[in-house]
Amino acid sequence: MSAAADVAAATPRTEAPASTGLRVFLACGEWVLAFPADAVARLLSVDEAPALLPPSGSPSPGREPHLGRLVVEGKVHSAWDLGSLLGLRGPAEAWLLLRSRVGGRDVDLALRTGPCLSVGPLPPRSERLPLSLSRERTGLFGQAFVAEGIARGRAGLSFVGLVVEPHRLFGEDSVAAIDQDQAEGSLAE
């Protein structure tokens, strides 16, 4: 058995919901990232988003990557900095609100990131990536694609984009914080 097959066999299967094929393309650091559009509930600029609520038991907003909770239209989202999760730096211009599977259940998430670039299908030139590309989160990046048309006019962005599998963004170390955020949201209702 190859090393990649060993990693794949040892990785717990977390099924992603079926996708329509449309993607939301975001800038994060120097990368163009693509999220499945059907997982995205809403995009907000950082200016129009409400103030963050601190994590449980803390009097002030959290440290990156876990920022606390963002309540939008009565729904509590566990708030995270996407760039910090991925080891990228860049301006925080938007919030991506999405629903994804974490720890075996669907949760509401808010990811602070760079600006939304566009919404549409993946460009025709894309390639599957090895599962082991991200050691901490096996299978996080499902594909790479040529992002030249999407990144056009944006200085500093890579011409290669990555498809993010949101159900693989969080490791076991993050599940407890997400569970606490969701529990506090349930208590507030």
Architecture in CATH for domain 20-188? Beta Barrel (2.40)
pLDDT one-digit tens code per residue, 56-97: 766 566 667 999 999 999 999 999 999 999 888 888 899 999
Closest CA to 75 of 58, 92, 98, 94: 98
Q: Cα separation of 136 and 1, whole Å? A: 21
Query: Please, what's the b/e burial string for 33-58 (b: 16 or more CB within 10 A of its CB; e: otherwise)?
Result: bbbbbbbbbebbeeeebeebbebeee
| pTM (two decimals) | 0.82
- Report pLDDT digits (tens) over 2-46: 333 333 333 333 344 445 689 999 999 999 999 999 999 999 999
Q: List, in sequence order, the alpha helices (H) in 70-119.
A: 82-86
Tokens describing residue 101: 């599977």
Tokens of 99: 């629903």
> Looking at the predicted structure, is the pLDDT value of residue 1 above 60?
no
CB 110 within 8 A of CB 73: no
Q: What CA–CA distance (Å, rounded) separates 133 from 146? A: 18
How many CB atoms are closer than 10 A to CB 169? 22
Domain chopping of the chain, boundaries: 20-188
**pLDDT band for position 189 (50/70/90)?**
very low
